[in-house]
Each structure stands twice: as C-alpha cells, then as structure tokens.
Amino acid sequence: MTRILEASEISDVPFVEDKWVDGELVKAVVPNAELLCKECGLDHESEVPIISIRVTGTRGKQKLFEVGEGKYKSALWVWYWLNRHSGNVLACTDHSVGGSFVMTPEAIASAASYFGEDICRDASRRDTVHEFVHWIIYDLKGAKLDFILKETA
C-alpha cells in the first residue's frame, strides 16, 4: 500500500515563480513539480499515487477529476499538501486508501504559488483549460478534496 509520509519527512517547499527564459515563458508549475517530486521521493510526477480527486464545494457542487496525462502536476500538489499539512487518511469501502482535506486560505495560497501566475490568471476564467485550478482557487473557496490512492503490492 502507498505510504503516507510523516509531516516531519517533508519540508515546506519554497515554490518558484513564472519566469521568462530566452524569450519563452517557463511556467512555475514545471520546476515546482520537479521540486515536489524530489521532496516526496518520486522519480517522475506520473508516479503520484492519486488516481482521482473529487472537489466538493460548501454548497454541495461536485466535480470528479481522474488523474492521468495533464493532471499529474495537480495530483502532485494534492499529495504534497496531504503529506505536509493534513495527513488525514481514511479507509475506503473498495479496500483502497484515500484521504481528504479542506482548501483553507493557506492551501489556496500554496496552490496558487505552485501553479504560478500565468496558470492562475487563465484559471480565473470560466472557460479555462485549467479546470481543476479554477475549482480549488476561484470557484469553490473552502472546497473539500477527497481522493483515492493507487493500490500497490
């Protein structure tokens, strides 16, 4: 089974900001994902052990995000936040393990810093391709995130 790290095993990661290099924008999430992989002991972001994330707003609005190509970086931040700040792990009925936490102002600020200004600016629009970021930062402040972890032998 995937091991939840102790908070003492993971330090607060100082995220980098978006920056221009040789005329191209390097979005903060790229180097920040690399930092979190290293901090969480993963060789690649695709090794993040989360398979799905359900976001539930304070009024019950829900959205399920399956983790795969294009969602690994989001799941990596969720995994980091769980391990570093929450540690709320629960057993699920399908014999897998999952967890949950609420998007506090501190969590929202961390997520915004991790994803960077460019992605957050795009995510502020209702028609954004960064739907997960939109939901957790702009649409559902105080949202609860529930997720299921991969089972490992």
Domain ranges of the chain: 15-149
- Mean pLDDT (the chain, rounded): 83
What's the confidence (pLDDT) of residue 35?
93
Q: Tell me: the pLDDT tens digits for 24-66?
A: 999 999 999 999 998 888 999 999 989 999 998 878 889 999 9
What's the confidence (pLDDT) of residue 129?
94
Residue 131 pLDDT > 90: yes
Terminal Cα-to-Cα distance of the chain (whole angstroms): 6
144: Cβ contacts below 8 Å, ≥ 6 apart: 55, 56, 100, 101, 102, 103
Distance CA 30, CA 108 (A): 18
**Which two structure tokens, joined as six digits, stand for 94?**
């399908």
User: What percent of the chain is predicted at pLDDT more than 90?
Assistant: 48
Radius of gyration of the chain (CA): 15
139: Cβ contacts below 8 Å, ≥ 6 apart: 57
**Which two structure tokens, joined as six digits, stand for 67?**
């983790």
